[in-house]
Amino acid sequence: MPTFQYEAMNSSGQTVKGTIDADTSEEAVAKIRSMGNFPTKLKERTGKGRSAAAASGGKAKEAGRTGRRTAGRVSAKKLTQFTRQLSTLQDAGLPLLRSLRILEEQQKPGMMRVAIRLVGDDVEAGTSLSESMARHPKTFSRLYINMVRAGELGGVLDLILQRLADFMERAEALKRKVIGAMIYPSVVIFFAIAIVSALLVFVVPQFKDIFAELGSELPAMTQMLMDLSEWMQGVGIFVLIGVGVGLFVVSKVLRQSKGGAFFLDKVKISIPIMGGIIQKTVVARFTRTLGTLLSAGVPILEALSTTAETAGNEVFESALVKVRAGIREGDSIAKPLRQARVVDSMVVNMIDVGEETGELDQMLARIADTYEDEVDTAVSSLVSLLEPIMIIVLGSIVAFIVIALFMPMVGMLEAVQNS
């Protein structure tokens, strides 16, 4: 009977190693799971001599790979399409390597095709799919790799890939909604600033000589407009550009440190209206991620670690790290999450119910569905509200400029009529 070497994670999240006798790798995985462990690596041991040769060959291979090319970033759309197609081919019963070669041929020249080819080469050399993908961290995220590994070890790779594709499509749709909500006001604000700046720099100065000929004292509103125009012609433009560039640079510098990123993300979720949308988006993302990992069979501690890294917000990442530490000490998810105070009580209560009923993954999916619907509603309401507000604000600014320019002329006409 063959002997398999394995690495696994126990219920406390600690790595354990050992050997086990089994006729097949599937039987070995089942035996490891029956011991209460979650296997992360499994390799057949074929004897002392061959093991040493394999080890030296593996080192030579690894040394040869140090100079090899690694795939770069690919778009979420292409990666989702690849995942969906690979799931379909695996469900049809095609061998994994054949599936990868088919998908490589179908891809247009680009980074996705390079990634598939390199992964296929590693699989052909005897490496598992998850380990092959792990060599390209810019293409395949840790979440992606962990789910693929769970699918391989559980013998349900086609199902896991299908769930992963569904997850990625939902995540991308949510991201598009939020970005779409931010693009409209950003464009309107940009053009409003550009139009007002053009009026102050090019139009308002034309009235300066006219007012000088009048010789009378300018109204306070008109004098304020003239001073603002003069400031804009001088250092105003450079100050506005400098402030914009400065804010961008400061945010980039702060992002380099953990504390700075935490501060920025804290500010983002504290912004009125928009902060609520961002917070709901992050909650939907982390509950969807955690639920998907748990449904795939990933251990809770590993799932929380991966979810924290992919949360996209340092405030929530810090909270999830505390949740993970609490679970290691024997707490439930709900208790440390309630203490972190980053989510509504409804979320905590639903997670608590999910843990008590043993349906945590399904409850997390329901939370994600609820918050995605709330984000959709909030985004639609925000866009509907911003349009009239922007029009009113821009109209008020233009009206101020027009009134300020014509007030001296009205005064001059009244003086002429009185005389």
Q: What is the 3-state secondary structure (H, E, C) of 326-373?
A: HHHCCCCCHHHHHHHCCCCHHHHHHHHHHHHHCCHHHHHHHHHHHHHH
For residue 285, give Cα distances in angstroms to 61, 154, 313, 327.
Answer: 38, 25, 10, 21
Helices (H), 127-156: 129-134, 142-154
For residues 30-48, one letter each, b for 16 or more C-beta atoms within 10 angstroms of the residue's C-beta and e for the rest, the string is: ebbeeeebbbbbbeeeeee
Q: By CB neighbour count within 10 A (0-12 exposed, 13-18 middle, 19+ buried), where does 331 fall?
A: middle
Domain ranges of the chain: 1-60, 73-140, 166-419
CATH topology of domain 166-419: Receptor-associated Protein (1.20.81)
Predicted local distance difference test score (pLDDT) of residue 222: 84
- d(Cα 308, Cα 258) in Å, to the nearest integer? 14
For residue 128, give the nearest of 104, 107, 97, 156 by alpha carbon. Answer: 97
**Do 166-419 and 73-140 fall under one CATH topology?**
yes
**Residue entry with tokens 């990625």:** 168
Helices (H), 256-313: 258-270, 274-295, 300-309
Q: What angle do CA 30, 35, 36 make, to 5 degrees?
A: 100
Predicted local distance difference test score (pLDDT) of residue 190: 83
Whether 21 and 2 have beta carbons less than 8 Å apart is answered as: yes
Q: By CB neighbour count within 10 A (0-12 exposed, 13-18 middle, 19+ buried), where does 316 fall?
A: buried
Whether 37 and 302 have beta carbons less than 8 Å apart is answered as: no
Predicted local distance difference test score (pLDDT) of residue 26: 64
Predicted local distance difference test score (pLDDT) of residue 187: 82
Predicted local distance difference test score (pLDDT) of residue 419: 58
State both tokens at 262.
Answer: 């935490």
Q: What is the pLDDT along the chain (419 residues), one digit of tens a residue?
A: 678 777 776 666 567 788 888 777 667 777 777 777 776 677 776 544 344 334 334 433 443 444 456 778 888 888 989 998 998 998 888 888 899 999 988 888 888 889 999 998 888 888 888 888 888 888 888 878 888 887 787 677 888 888 888 888 888 887 787 777 777 777 878 888 888 888 888 888 888 777 777 666 788 888 888 888 888 887 877 888 888 889 889 888 888 888 888 888 888 888 887 788 888 888 888 888 888 888 877 788 888 888 887 777 888 888 888 888 888 887 788 888 888 788 888 888 888 888 888 888 889 889 988 888 888 888 888 777 877 888 888 888 888 888 888 887 776 666 666 65
State both tokens at 360.
Answer: 């945590």
φ/ψ (deg, to 5) at 266: -65, -40
* List of long-range contacts for 200-209, beta carbons under 8 Å, 24+ apart: 200/225, 200/228, 200/229, 200/232, 200/233, 200/236, 200/401, 201/229, 201/232, 201/233, 201/237, 204/229, 204/401, 204/405, 205/229, 205/233, 207/405
CATH topology of domain 73-140: Receptor-associated Protein (1.20.81)
For residue 178, give the nearest of 291, 78, 284 by alpha carbon. Answer: 284
DSSP notation for 26-60: HHHHHHHHHTT-EEEEEEEE--HHHHHHHHHHHHH
The SS3 assignment for 19 reads strand
**Residue entry with tokens 């911003």:** 386
- d(Cα 304, Cα 351) in Å, to the nearest integer? 14
Predicted local distance difference test score (pLDDT) of residue 57: 43
For residue 314, give the nearest of 265, 268, 252 by alpha carbon. Answer: 265
Which residues pair with residue 4 across a beta bridge?
20, 44
